[in-house]
C-alpha cells in the first residue's frame, strides 16, 4: 500500500512538496525558513550529518507553526562531509543509527507539541538505501521498531520502497524536480554534466508533468515512469525558495492540490 492511492482514487491530483530543513549546526545555517511557507513536508536533520538539538527544536517549532508535516532525516555520522560521502557501515550499524536519530527528533517533536510522521534517509545513506536491499531493510526495520505508524519516504522504484513494503510500513515515493534521470529511472549522479536542471520554468513544467502523467523525460530523451507522491525540492541554495514557489504555483495553476501525504 502507498500513500497516494486514496488521493488518486478521489479523482483529483494531489502531490506533496518536500525539502530538507534544519541543516544548520551551531552558528551555521543553511536553510531559509521561508521555505516552510511553500513546502508541505520538511525532512529535518537529526544531528549526525547536520542539525543540533537547538537547531532541531527551532526547525520543528517553525514547521509545526506552518502546519508542515515533519519527517526525520537521518544520515551518516559525518558532519564534515555533510553525510554525502559513502561510508562502509554494516546494516546493523545503520539500523542502530537510524533508531537513534528517529528517537531524537521524535522527542523534539513531542516536546514541541507536534508529531513526527515520516522518515527519509539523507545523502549517501539515501543513495545506498536506494540500491542495496540489506541497507534498505535495516532502515525499514528501524522505522518499524520505533513506531510502525511512521511512513518511509524514498526514491520511487528503489530498494527502499520495496523494503518498506516487505517490512510492512507505509511508503511514500518521491521524484526529484531538478535532477536529471537516466532511462532506468535512477538519477544522473551530481558528478556528471547535466545532473542538475536550471531554470524555474523548466523545473516547474517537469514537476507538473511528473504529477500529471507519472513520467519524466530521461537525459537521453526516453520516457521514464516515475511515481511522484512527493516532489523533492532543494532546501538550500540561494534560489531554493524561488524554485519551490515556481513549482507550487505551476502545480496549483494546473489544478493539482499540493498537500502533504500525511493529510491525504
Within 8 A by CB and 6+ apart from 238, the residues are: none
Residue choice 32, 81, 185, 196 for contact with a second copy (CB under 8 A): 81
Q: How many residues bind a second copy (CB under 8 A)?
A: 44
Residue choice 56, 167, 169, 256 for contact with a second copy (CB under 8 A): 56
Least gap, CB of 172 to a second copy (angstroms): 21
Residue placing its CB nearer to a second copy in the complex, 15 or 46: 46
Q: CA geometry: angle at 199 spanning 173 and 74, to 5°?
A: 35
Is residue 61 classed as helix, strand or coil in its secondary structure? helix
Least gap, CB of 57 to a second copy (angstroms): 5
Q: Are 70 and 116 in contact (CB under 8 A)?
A: yes
Q: Is the dihedral of CA 45, 63, 262, 112 positive or negative?
A: positive
Residue placing its CB nearer to a second copy in the complex, 7 or 47: 47
Q: How far apart are CA 178 and CA 24, in angstroms?
A: 22
10 Å Cβ neighbour count for 90? Answer: 11
Least gap, CB of 233 to a second copy (angstroms): 18
Residue placing its CB nearer to a second copy in the complex, 29 or 245: 29
* 35 near a second copy, judged by CB under 8 A: no
Q: Kindly report the backbone phi and psi dihedral angles of residue 225, in degrees, each rounded to the nearest multiple of 5, phi listed first.
A: -75, 135
* Residues forming the site for a second copy (CB under 8 A): 24-28, 30, 47, 52-54, 56-57, 77-82, 85-89, 92-93, 96-97, 99-108, 110-111, 124, 142, 145-147
Amino acid at each position: 500500500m502507498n500513500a497516494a492511492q486514496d488521493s488518486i482514487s478521489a479523482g483529483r491530483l494531489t502531490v506533496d512538496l518536500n525539502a530538507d530543513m534544519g541543516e544548520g549546526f551551531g552558528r551555521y545555517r543553511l536553510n531559509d525558513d521561508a521555505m516552510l511557507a511553500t513546502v508541505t513536508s520538511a525532512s529535518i536533520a537529526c544531528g549526525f550529518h547536520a542539525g543540533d538539538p537547538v537547531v532541531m527544536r527551532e526547525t520543528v517549532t517553525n514547521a509545526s507553526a506552518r502546519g508542515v508535516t515533519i519527517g526525520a532525516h537521518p544520515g551518516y555520522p559525518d558532519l564534515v562531509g555533510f553525510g554525502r560521502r559513502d561510508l562502509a557501515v554494516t546494516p546493523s550499524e545503520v539500523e542502530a543509527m537510524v533508531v537513534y536519530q528517529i528517537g531524537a527528533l521524535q522527542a523534539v517533536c513531542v516536546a514541541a507539541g507536534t508529531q513526527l510522521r515520516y522518515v527519509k534517509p539523507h545523502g549517501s545513506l539515501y543513495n545506498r538505501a536506494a540500491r542495496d536491499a540489506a541497507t534498505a531493510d535495516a532502515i525499514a526495520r528501524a522505522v518499524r521498531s520505533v513506531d510502525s505508524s511512521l511512513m518511509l519516504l524514498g526514491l520511487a522504484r528503489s530498494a527502499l520502497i520495496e523494503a518498506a513494503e516487505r517490512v510492512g510500513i507505509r511508503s511514500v515515493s518521491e521524484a526529484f524536480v531538478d535532477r536529471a534521470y537516466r532511462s532506468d529511472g535512477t538519477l544522473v549522479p551530481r558528478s556528471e554534466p547535466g545532473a542538475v536542471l536550471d531554470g524555474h520554468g523548466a523545473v516547474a513544467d517537469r514537476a507538473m508533468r511528473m504529477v500529471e502523467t507519472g513520467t519524466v523525460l530521461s537525459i537521453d530523451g526516453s520516457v521514464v515512469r516515475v511515481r511522484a507522491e512527493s516532489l523533492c525540492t532543494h532546501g538550500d541554495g540561494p534560489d531554493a525558495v524561488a524554485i519551490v514557489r515556481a513549482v507550487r504555483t505551476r502545480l496549483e495553476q494546473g489544478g493539482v492540490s499540493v498537500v502533504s501525504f500525511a493529510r491525504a
